[in-house]
Structure 1
Amino acid sequence: MRVLHVITALGDGGPEHQLRLLVDRLPHESEVVTLSPPGAVADALRARGTTVHEVTGRRGLGAVGALRRLIRRGRFDLVHTHVHRACVPGRFAARLAGVRRVVATEHRLGDTAGRLYLTTERLGQVTIAASPAVARRLAEWGVPDERIEVIPKAVAPGEFGYDPRLRAAARARLGIAPGAAVVGGVGRLEPGERFDRLIRAVAEAPGATLLLAGDGPARDALQKLAAIEGIADRVVFAGRVPHAREMLCAMDVFASPGEDTFGLVVLEAIAAGLPALYARCPPLEELAAARATVEGARRLTPHDRESLPRALRAELLCLAERHGERLPARAAGPRYDADHLAREVDRVYSRTGPVS
């Protein structure tokens, strides 16, 4: 079966990496089209032999004509759209091209749906929600329950294996001493990630270096906060990275203080052998509720400002007692593994009917 994946961008964001994991594992002939200039994930897909098309310079419905021509020319059997802004033109184009098998994946949604979105939702057959929260939002918008499938985001743990050579290279490039105790965070630098809490916590951990991988609108404010806290010389801003592995190898303790998150980066951190402190990570919370804890993963106490600095100091003491030794790689179980993601998506494809 020939499948065309339609996505807004192929930079280095979460949805793009989820698409990469999926395409690598689906038992179908997949091609990808991006509605924005391609980036790191496009390069990774092409390196693996996946054809990546570009329909750029057009926004919203302006991309429908070019997508329709691409779908017809490629004789695709199924169109799979990813991310809200790609779903509207992708569904319209599929229907105009005569493709009836249309699936969408939504990773994160806002508060309201436009009328156009709900209209095009009926042109597809199934919308995959990447979390129960997204499924609830779709239902609130009026999408029938029978048209919603919850398939959670996933990681490929093997991609994050610890490599001391990557650690040494990253630290040398960033100017971090080989023996420094490094606390790290990965994500977009925006207020919702609450990296301000992490900066204040590191200020209470003498000698620790903070490594933040990512970029965003809050970077200037975070740099100013580090100066106010008197630790500007102990905070390293690495900027955007195409893949988190190298940065995770460079860290000793991982922290995710944001509460509005699925926590996928926490799963990447434990796969890299890091102790992880997190405010929210539904996959690990599910395990904890089932009394199946993950070594070195600790949830922060909600509404307790001292929880993060207290837990951080404790982890740094444990690191010293281990003499810097890495923890073993851990995982949240098969439900959040990339192979499971591909099997579940393929099951949804089968639900849409046979290839014509």
Structure 2
Amino acid sequence: MFYGKNHTPLNFVFTHNAKDFIVEEVPLYESSLEGEHLVLFIRKKNISTFDLLDKLANFAPKKDIGYAGLKDKNALAYQYISVPFKTDLSLIEDENIKILDSKRHNNKLKIGHLKGNKFFIRLKKVDSLNAKRLMTELDLAQKSGFPNYFGYQRFGNFNDNYKLASSIKKPIKKQSKKEKFLISALQSFYFNKWLDTRLKLSNLMDTLDIASVLKLKFQDFVDSELINPNLLDKLAFNKEDAVCLELAQEFKIPYKLLKHDICKHFPYGKYFEIEDLKVEYERFITQNIAPTGLLSGESSKNTKDALDPKICLSNAIESSFAKPILALGTRRYAWSFVSELKYEYKEQLAHFELSFFLPSGSYATSFLEYVKNGQL
């Protein structure tokens, strides 16, 4: 992935384990304390959320078990799971699972019933120079945000979840949870490729003079294997885009907005299409809105023909990554913002510890890769 930065990657060691990586869900709302469901607050380690659901299925019908989000296997994770109220969990015996609390609730938990997640991460083998660089990059990320890539966990141990999805032909309603997860990895793959493209374009818009940007062709920033070959040799901008490019260089944020981008109020709100770039840039840098990208699938917003000469650049790029996928189509923030950021450098141990909050859907590992400017 491209992160929109030109400096060399920072040097540190991140070990994905229960001591150095802790995540805790923050619920979207409090339990109602009444109803036919029981919301469990569970601490788990060394097992995935799917493994946890399989174990709970020994005590309650799997279809009646709900969860708000997937948590890493190689972490100490605190998450909420709902089961039918009368479920007897007294016989659960597993050293990797501990039920810390339980409360009655009216509804079964569903994906997205989550405000976000709190994280604690310990980095190791951090020398004083890289500690200073980490502090600088973290402060910049807190001010300007970071690209909302799907994390590598989405793609499996062998980075092939999205490839496995191609063999699934079932309609959406007949897919199992694991099949839906694999198909979502395919959506994630194309989203990441689209976001990578937008960041490469943004970097060129920021570093080249306007006259040079006006000469850019699609082949200068788009992977030729993923885009319509008839589009590669076409100019990306026209002379009327000069004002857009001036604004892009005026506002110092790594992701550059384009007219007709579809944005959304952050962290919640309605979608809208950009008309006045200056107004939306000002709201973007103050973290009131963020651009969004397409997760291809059924019922997603119709995209226009990328080769239509009247189409805008934003739609031309997005249309190139819109694919027929057996999933519900939607949109996702392309850019996210971190809050509650704290860090401490322990020089004698060469440890760098940080804690922060991310909204639902954002990956701590993607945030860390952005700060590092490289893969973990």
More strand by share: 2
TM-score (norm 2): 0.24
TM-score (norm 1): 0.25
Higher relative contact order (CA 8 A, sep 6+): 2
More helix by share: 1
